[in-house]
Amino acid sequence: MVKLHAMKPEPAIFDVPDEEHDARRLADALADVAAGRVISHKAMKAWLLSWGTPDELPPPQVGD
């Protein structure tokens, strides 16, 4: 009889938290919002709903 051993899975990139990186990304995001560097929900929704249609829109830009 052959005895099988379970392989130890490799950790995924999301298994190891990087709190310093996360804090930097959050600070960057909050600075973008404070400076008005955002895309409106309306513009993003219109773009996404246009995917796969003959009248597909270009990606929205900051300020749209």
- pTM exceeding 0.85: no
Choose among 57, 35, 55: nearest CA to 46.
57
Burial 16-35 (b: 16+ CB within 10 A, else e): eeeeeeeeeeeeeeeeeeee
Q: What is the pLDDT of residues 6-39, one digit of tens each?
A: 888 887 877 788 899 999 999 999 999 999 999 9
Q: Which two tokens stand for residue 53?
A: 């249609």
